[in-house]
Amino acid sequence: MRPYRFETTPVLVAGAGSVHALAPELLARGAASVLVVTDPGLMAAGLVMPIVERCRSAGLTLSVFSEVAADPPEAVALAAANAARASGADTVIGLGGGSAMDTAKLAALLAGTPQALEAIYGIGQAKGPRLRLVQVPTTAGTGSEVTPIAIVTTASHEKKGVVSPLLLADLAVLDADLTLGLPAAVTAATAIDAMVHAIEAYTSRHKKNPISDALAEQALRLLFSNLPRALADGQNRTARGALLEGAMLAGMAFANAPVAAVHALAYPLGGHFHVPHGLSNALVLAPVLRFNLSAAIPEYAALGRLLDPTLHTADDSAAAEAFVAMMSQLVSTMPFAQRLADVGVTSNDLEMLAHDAMAVQRLLINNPKDVTFEDALEIYRSVA
Ligand SMILES: NC(=O)c1ccc[n+]([C@@H]2O[C@H](COP(=O)([O-])OP(=O)(O)OC[C@H]3O[C@@H](n4cnc5c(N)ncnc54)[C@H](O)[C@@H]3O)[C@@H](O)[C@H]2O)c1
Ligand SMILES: [Fe+2]
C-alpha cells in the first residue's frame, strides 16, 4: 500500500432546503455572533437576506460583509477580516462562489490570529486559531467548501494561494436550490472548473491516491452528464444537485491530489485580464490535455471509459484520445468565449502569460508531463 494522506471538511449537511439547517447547526456549536461574507451579485440575486433573517429570528447576531469581488484582491480579504474583528464575530460564513468562500477563509483566519497576509502565502505557513468557519456554496465549481486553499490576487496581478488545514471549514452546507438562478455562462464555466479539478487530481503526479481517484471519477461522471441538462433547464433541481455534489467531490479530490498545468496556465489570465476562473481554465483545457496525452494514457483512458462505456472495447491509446476529444467537444459547445482574443488577450501578451505561468511551480510540479516556457507559449498560441 502506498502511503498517502487525506483530509476534508468534517461535517457536510446536504440536500435541497438544507440551508434551513444553518441556524440550528450554528446554535449547536455555540455560535452567537456571525459575519456573513458574500458579494454584491448574491445580494442582488436576493439570496443573502432571507438566510440572514432566518438566523436572526433564531437568536443569532448577524453582520454582513458584501464587498467581495471576483478573484478577490488582497485588500478585500483584509477588509473582510477587519469586518469580522469589528463585529466581534465568533463565526464566519462564506456564502457565494469561490470568491466569497475564499475571502471568508482568510477573514476567519486573520481575525482569529493577526498575521501579515504576505507571510502566509504558500503551503503550511498560517498559524491559528481561527474563528469558526462555515461554507455555503452558491456555484457548483470551486469546491472551496472542502478545500484548505484560499486564492487571492496580489497588487502585481499575481494569483497567490494560502494553503493550510486551518482553511478547511468546520461545516459545509450544500443546498442546490441556492444555485437555481445561476446564469448559463457561470453555470458552464464553474462546472468546467470542477471537471478540471477532477481530471487534474486524477493525473496528479505525487499525491494521487485511491480516495482522490474514486472521488474524481464520481465527480467527473456527475458533472459531465449533468452540465448539459442544467444548461438546457436551469431550474432542473436534479441536475443542479448533481453539479453541486460533483463540484464538492472534485474539491475533496484535488484538495488532496493537487491540480496542475491547466490551473497554472489559467491563473495569469485571471490575474491580468480578469477572466473568470472557470472560463480561464476552459480556454486552455483542450490544448493542455492534448499536450499531456502521451504521459497520461492509462488515466485518460480510464476517464474516457467512465464517460463512454463503449470505449471498453478500445485500447488505451484510442480511449485516451477519445477522452481528450470528448472534453474538447464539450468545451466548444459552451456558452462562453473560445479564444484568448475574445477576452482581450493579444499576441503581444502571450510571452508575459507564459512567463507568469512558469512561476506557478506549486501546481506545475503536479502535471503528468514537465512544462517548459516554450510549451506554455505554444499552448497559449494554439488558442490565441
Ligand atoms: N479555494 C479553492 O479551492 C478554489 C478552487 C478553485 C477556484 N478558486 C477561486 O474561486 C474564485 C472563483 O469562484 P467561482 O468560480 O465560484 O466564481 P465567483 O465566486 O467569483 O462568482 C462568480 C459570479 O457569480 C455570481 N453568483 C454566484 N452564485 C450565484 C447564484 N447562485 N446566483 C446568481 N449569481 C451567482 C457572483 O455574484 C459572481 O458575480 C477564483 O478566485 C478562484 O481562483 C478557489
Ligand atoms: Fe479551479
Place of cell 474538447: 328
CA distance 121 to 138: 26
CB atoms within 10 A of CB 129: 10
With beta carbons less than 8 A apart as the criterion, state whether 107 and 65 touch: yes
What pLDDT score does 2 carry? 87
Which ligand minimizes its atom distance to the CA of 198? 2
pLDDT tens digits along 241-262: 999 999 999 999 999 999 999 9
Residue 160 CA to ligand 1 centre (angstroms): 16
Helix (H/G/I), strand (E/B), else coil: 90: coil
pLDDT tens digits along 268-323: 999 999 999 999 999 999 999 999 999 999 999 999 999 999 999 999 999 999 99
pLDDT at 8 over 90: yes
Q: Which residues line ligand 1 (CB under 6 A)?
A: 39, 41-42, 45, 70-71, 96-100, 102, 138-139, 141-142, 144, 147, 149-151, 178-179, 181-182, 186, 190, 193, 277-278
- Residue 174 pairs in a beta bridge with 14
With beta carbons less than 8 A apart as the criterion, state whether 196 and 281 touch: yes
Please, which residues have CB within 8 angstroms of residue 16's CB and are 6 or more apart in sequence? Answer: 175, 176, 177, 237, 241
Which ligand minimizes its atom distance to the CA of 9? 1
Closest CA to 376 of 276, 281, 261: 261
pLDDT at 159 over 90: no
pLDDT tens digits along 199-211: 999 999 999 999 9
CA distances from 110 to 119, 253, 296 (A): 11, 26, 40
C-alpha cell at 346: 493579444
pLDDT tens digits along 59-111: 999 999 999 999 999 999 999 999 999 999 999 999 999 999 999 999 999 99
> Domains of the chain (ranges plus CATH)?
11-179 (3.40.50.1970), 193-382 (1.20.1090.10)
Q: What is the pairing mode between strands 149-153 and 159-163? A: antiparallel
